[in-house]
Copies of this chain bind each other. A is one copy, B any other.
Amino acid sequence: MNIEQAAKQLEALGNPTRLEVYRTLVRAGANGLAVSSVQQKLGIPASTLSHHLHRLILTGLVTQERQATTLICRANYPAMQGLVGFLVDECCADACMPSAADDAA
């Protein structure tokens, strides 16, 4: 996970609407959720939802799979784990442990 990719994913999650979409998908679990279901749950126009979904897909946080006429969306858990891993790694590794952080002057 390079910093550019991490920034892209963080930016994708950094919009209230998109974060809510993503949370909805994650909570839906492995079964995923149809686009229309997400739309009903959140009550946002289809075009807006499609736009946000597209951005989430571009960053690899969400995947889609066709089932007849409906599109099933799923949160991509490994991607999320990678992102959280980056944050913890880059940012907390040698810092969240106070005993290991202060050694220099």
Binding site for B on A (CB under 8 A): 3-4, 6-16, 18-20, 22-23, 26-27, 29-31, 75, 77, 80-81, 83-84, 87-88, 90-92, 94-96, 98, 101-102, 104-105
Contacts and interface: CB of A to CB of B under 8 A. Distances in A.
A75 B91 contact: yes
A47 to B, nearest CB: 21
A30 B87 contact: no
Nearest to A16: B7
A51 to B, nearest CB: 16
Given A27-B94, A29-B94, A84-B88, 14 more contacts: A6-B19, A7-B13, A7-B15, A7-B16, A10-B19, A13-B14, A23-B90, A29-B95, A29-B104, A30-B101, A75-B95, A77-B95, A77-B96, A80-B91
